[in-house]
Structure 1
Amino acid sequence: MILAPTPCGTTDAEALVRRFYEPLSTGDTDLVDTVLGTDWEADPALHAGPGHDGWKATVAYLRSVLGDLTFTIEDVVVAGDRVAVRSVTRGTHKGELLGVPATGRQIEIWASDYHQVEGGRIVRSWHLEDYYGVLQQLNAETGA
């Protein structure tokens, strides 16, 4: 079942999920507590820690290692209580990322996320990133 669109052409769930990503562009993590459910879980677990504080720390980390960070949502698909997002994060590699010291190179991180929405909040998120592609852009040793 696809959620009914709102007058602006997006569903409430899509609008909520789009707000989840805003801190990547702005650095303002105040809205995190309004979009995530109390017991929000990320799978796989965030390296920065669980829950709201883990997402806030992840945002701060990404903004610190990627200068001039931009985040673009390429596609959104809503089906029932699930929202799928295909995105790309771009920036200048200016801090250690995936064990690679700053290179000054422009990189792109392609990702797919799947969010579960209940009661007007995101309660669970599944995240996949193209780490191999990032390492190739950094010209790092990949073992391949």
Structure 2
Amino acid sequence: MPPSAGTILRLWFEEVWNRKDVSLIETYFAPDGVTYALDLSGADARGPAAFQAFFEEFLASFPDIHFTVHDVVEDGDRAAGRWSARLTHSGDGFGFTASGETVTVTGMSMVRVENGMMVESWNEWDRLRLATACRMTAPA
């Protein structure tokens, strides 16, 4: 029996993000999966390769990111989690020079799981707090 949606959500944050194990993206993210509102602009990522490109660029900018999952609720094939992440803007990326600022952002993610893999995920997080704290503003 595959793991529950809540277990997959927790494993995603712990093993992929906190351990920075890029090899597990294809374990937890379905080949035809889509992650909605992923990046700083709110763009989507379709498939493991698209997510991996975002993941690697994000880690290049914020290599020390660490998530804490505070709550997870499950209902059948879906799970939602409330989390916080602490990160330092120590690398250039996304078109912005590293600021050296450390910030904590909060967010929520919901996943839909089939056969032990995420097929859809939705992400709402405090992009403005991250952009402001790290002085990631668009050039004039």
TM-score (norm. length: structure 2): 0.78
Q: How many residues align?
A: 132
Q: Which is worse superposed, 101-110 or 48-57? A: 48-57
**Cα RMSD (Å) of the superposition?**
2.5
Shift of 1:48: 8.5
- Contact kept? 1:67, 1:91, Cα under 8 Å: yes
Tell which has more relative contact order, 1 or 2 (C-alpha 8 A, sep 6+): 2
TM-score (norm: length of structure 1) = 0.77
Asked if 1:72 corresponds to 2:68, the answer is yes
Deviation at 1:132, TM superposition (A): 1.4
Determine if the alignment matches structure 1 residue 84 to structure 2 residue 80. yes
Equivalent position to 2:50, from 54, 63, 76? 54
Q: CA–CA distance in 2 between the matches of 1:140 and 1:49?
A: 21
Q: For structure 2, list consecutive stretches of 5 or more residues without a partner in the other structure.
A: none
**Structure 1 residue corresponding to 2:30, chosen from 10, 30, 37:** 37
Contact 1:73 1:85 in 2 (8 A): yes
Q: Which residue of 2 aligns with 1:119?
A: 115
Kindly provide the CA deviation profile for residues 70-118 of structure 1, in whole angstroms up to 9, marking residues without a partner as x.
1211211111221101112212111346654211111122221110112
Percent of aligned pairs with the same amino acid: 26
Q: Work out which of the two has the higher radius of gyration on C-alpha atoms and give 1 or 2.
A: 1
